[in-house]
């Protein structure tokens, strides 16, 4: 049986070891999957705010709830535009909601004139599940009550 001289045996072993290291285990299935990035997701519990008919000089309020249904931090801003008969009385401005957190937004409708009035609640945000901004129309009508003459209902 033929035996390699010690130097050649050492070099052959070194060559095989270098080959195994160079080839390595490049199987992507053996690598751990990358960690998922937290993803905030927005949910708004109403699609519109319908105040119906409200007497001029009276006030009606409705509430919308903004919720983070994702697992990251949801940041954004809540504004209202449109008729001056509408006002944000709670929840306006910038917000930052952790996982499962909510923000209640209250819109007041106080018509000063008779007729239809519209506004738009705008919620800008950084979530990927809904286009930004989410818009919620507010609709209402100012109504003037005509008093019945005395003795008539």
The model's pLDDT over 42-58, given as tens digits with 9 standing for 90+, comes to 999 999 999 999 999 99
pTM tops 0.85:
no
User: If you ran DSSP here, which 8-state letter would residue 140 be given?
Assistant: E
Q: CA 54, CA 116: separation in Å to the nearest integer?
A: 10
For 103, which DSSP code?
E
Q: What fold characterizes domain 42-143? A: Immunoglobulin-like (2.60.40)
- Note the pLDDT tens digit of each residue in 13-46: 656 666 666 666 555 555 665 667 899 999 999 9
Residues 70-105: tens digit of each pLDDT: 999 999 999 999 999 999 999 999 999 999 999 999
Q: What is the C-alpha separation between 115 and 113, in angstroms, rounded?
A: 6
């Amino acid at each position: 049986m033929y035996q390699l001289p010690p130097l050649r045996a050492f070099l052959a072993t070194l060559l095989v070891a270098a080959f195994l290291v160079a080839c390595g285990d490049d199987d992507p299935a053996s690598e751990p999957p990358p960690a998922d990035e937290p993803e905030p997701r927005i949910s708004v519990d109403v699609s519109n705010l319908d105040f119906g008919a409200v007497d001029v000089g009276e006030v009606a309020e409705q509430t919308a709830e903004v919720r983070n249904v994702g697992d990251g931090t949801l940041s954004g801003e809540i504004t209202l535009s449109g008729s001056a008969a509408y006002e944000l009385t709670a929840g306006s401005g910038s917000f930052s909601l952790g996982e499962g957190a909510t923000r209640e937004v209250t819109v007041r409708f106080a018509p000063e004139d008779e007729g239809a009035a519209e506004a738009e609640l705008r919620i800008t945000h950084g979530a990927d599940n809904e286009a930004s901004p989410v818009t919620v129309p507010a609709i209402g009508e100012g109504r003037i009550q005509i008093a019945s003459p005395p003795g008539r209902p």
